[in-house]
Structure 1
C-alpha cells in the first residue's frame, strides 16, 4: 500500500482547490534543524525590537510613522502606488476624501485597517471571521464579504515574460467551503494548544493558509499581511503592531510568490517557512535600526533647538514633528501645545534653522521633516 503524503497538494491549478487541507499541518513538515536555527535568529531579532520599542516615551512616533510606510509598501505589492509627499500630506490633513488621489486613499485605508483591526482584537480578545471581513471592507471600501458561490478567482503569473497571465492557482470556491476553511483558520489562530507552539511558525502557516483560501474578491494580500502583525501582538511578541514584512516582500517578491506556490504545488512548507522567518529576522533588525535612527535624529535636533533658547517646551515640539513627516500648525494647537500664532512662529523658526522645510500646497502650509522621511524611506 503506497505511503500517504504528509501534505495533499493542489492536483490542478486550473480547478478551485476545495481540497485545501485544514490546519494543523503535520509537524514533520517543519521540524528540522534549518528551520529551528532560523527561528532562533528571528526570535532574537524580535526580542531586540520588542525591548527597544517599549522604551520609547512617545509611542506615537512609531505608531504613525512606521505604519504609514507599511501602508505604502504593502499597497505597492498590489500595484497601488502613491508618492511619499502625497501620502504624508493627505495623512496630515485628516481629510482623506478631499483632493486626494485614489491610490493615496487606498493606502490610507490600509493604515486605518491596521488600527481598526488592532482595536477589534483588543475589544474581542480573539480572531473571528468578522475580523477578516472588517479588514477587507476597510481596505477596499466595500460592503460585501466572503466571495459568493458564483465568483471564481484566479491567480495569474505577473510580469511580462512568456508565462505572464498564465493561471498559476485557483482558490477554493463556494461560500460555505470558504467559511469552513476560514473558521478552521480562526480556531488555529486562537487555540494555543494546536501546534506549532512557536508563534512565528504559526504565523507563517496561518499566512499561507489565508492566502490559499483567498476569501475575498480583492485585497487578500493586504489582509494577509495585516494578519501577520496582529497575530504577533495577540501572541504578545510585540506590544504594538510595528513589525511589517512588506518591504522585505518587495525586495524578494518573486521568492515570495515562488514559495507560496511551492506549498500548494509540491507541499514544500520548509522553503515557505524559512522565507517568512528570514523576513521576520531581517525586518525586525531593520525596524530596530530605524527606531534608533529616529531617536538619534530627534535628540540631535532637540539639542540644537534647546541651544536657541527661544522655544517653550522644546521637547514636546520636537516630539510633534517626529510623529509624522508633515506637520501643520493645527497639529500643535489641537494637541494644546501652543496658541496658533506661537505654533506658526515656532514652525517658521524651525524652517529657518533648516530643521523642517516649509511648503505651500494648494494654499495650505506644511512643514516637512526630511530627516524622518529619509529614515522611513530606507
Structure 2
C-alpha cells in the first residue's frame, strides 16, 4: 500500500490524502510494541494524577512548562524567572513579547480543554479559537490568495528554499480541515487506537497548515486535548513539548518523511515514544511535587502556629512565585497575617524572599527546582 506523497515541495499539496489512512501503512510489530509502552505510561500518569486532591496545582505548574517548551520550538524564548514573575502578576498589568505569547499558549491550553468538555467534540470553532488565542489574532483560515511556504532554515545553500507547500485554493483548506474534524470525532467509521489516531491527526493538521501562523503550537495543543477528550487524562498535564524540543530535528524530519516518502512508520513511532517519555517525566514531576508538598506541610504544622496550613501550602505550590496580594486576593488571610506567615516560611528555608523591580516576591525554590529539571 503506497501513500500519495507530495512530489514537488514548491507546489501546494492539494492532493494531500484525506483520512482515514489504510492501517497497512502503520501496522507493524514495532509500532504495536511501542503503543503498548506508551499506553502503560499514560495509564500510570492518569492513575497518579486522579489521586491528587488539588489538580489545579498541576494545571498551573505543568501547563506553564508545556507552554514554555512548545513556544521554544517556534523560537519564542524566555527564562523561568521571567515567566513565573509574569504569571504571578495581575491580569491587567502590562506583559508583552515572548512572555505574553507563552502565557497566551497556556490560556489556550486551558480554554480549549473547557471548550471540549462543554461541546463534547472538535469543530471549526475549536481550532479557530485556539489559533486566535495563541496568536493573538482575529482572522480565520488563511484565504486562498495567501502563498504559504515552509522554508529551509539555517544559513546553508538551501536556506530559504521551500521544503513544503501546504494546500491552497478556494474551499480546499476548509474541506481538508473538515475531513480532519470528522476523523477526530467519528470512532465508528474511523476506528483506530486513540494514541495512533492522535499521531495521524497531528501530522494531518500540520500538513493542512490552515492558519497564517501558530499552526505548530495549535497542533501541539490539539494533541493534549485529544487525549483528555478520549478520557486518557483528566487534565491537560502531559508535558509533550519538552520531548519535541529535545528531539526537534527528528520531529521535523518525521513530518517531512511522511510528505516526501510516505513514511508513516517513523512518524508514528516518534509520537508514541514522545507520549511514553513525557508521561513518565510528568509522572516523576508529579511525585516530586506531591512528596515535597507533603513534607513542607508537615514541617509547617510541627514548627509554626499557621492557621489553615493546607491552604497556605496549596497557594505556594500553585506557582513558584507568590506575592502577599495573591494570598489576600483569595481571602485566606489579612495582609499582615499573610506577610507574617510568608516570612515564617522564609525563616524555615521553605521560601526565598526576592525583590524584583521594586516588588516583593516569595519563591518556592523546591517547586522551581522540580519544574526546571
> Quick one: which of 297, 302, 307 aligns to 1:307?
302
Q: By how many angstroms is 1:326 displaced?
A: 0.8
Q: 1:134 aligns to what?
A: 129
Q: Structure 2: how far apart are the matches of 1:131 and 1:217? A: 16
Whole-angstrom CA distance in 2 between matches of 1:166 and 1:135: 29
Can you give the 5+ residue segments of structure 1 that lack an aligned partner in the other structure?
none
TM-score, normalised to structure 2, is 0.97
Q: How many residues align?
A: 373
Distance 2:157 2:297 in 1: 55
Q: What's the TM-score once normalised by structure 1's chain length?
A: 0.96
Deviation string 1:123-171 (CA, Å, 9 cap, x unpaired) is 2111001110111111111010100111011111223444332311000
Matching of residue 77 in structure 1 with residue 73 in structure 2: yes
Choose which of 154, 161, 168 in structure 2 pairs with 1:159: 154
Number of the residue aligned with 1:198: 193
C-alpha deviations, 1:308-346, integer Å up to 9, x for none? 132111122111100111111122222222111101111
Alignment of 1:48-197 (within 5 A): 48-95=44-91, 97-98=93-94, 100-197=95-192
Q: 1:61 to 1:158 in 2, by over 3 A?
A: same
Q: Which runs of 5+ in 2 are unaligned?
A: none
Aligned to 1:275: 270
Match of 1:352 in 2: 347
Instruction: Map 1:327-342; keep pairs closer than 5 Å.
Output: 327-342=322-337
- 2:36 maps to 1:40: yes
- Residues 1:97 and 1:212: Cα distance change in structure 2 (over 3 Å): farther
Equivalence for 1:235: 230
- Distance in 2, matches of 1:33 and 1:196, equals 19
1:293 aligns with 2:288: yes
CA distance in 1, matches of 2:189, 2:153: 35
Aligned equivalent of 2:16: 20
Structure 2 CA distance for partners of 1:279 and 1:178, relative to 1, 3 Å: same
Aligned residues of 2:65 and 2:239 also touching (Cα < 8 A): no
CA distance, structure 2, for counterparts of residue 154 and residue 164 of structure 1: 13
Q: CA deviation at 1:297?
A: 1.0
The equivalent residue for 1:263 is 258
More deviation in 178-187 or 366-375?
366-375
Q: Distance in 2 between matches of 1:148 and 1:223?
A: 18
Across the aligned residues of Structure 1 and Structure 2, the Cα RMSD in angstroms comes to 1.2
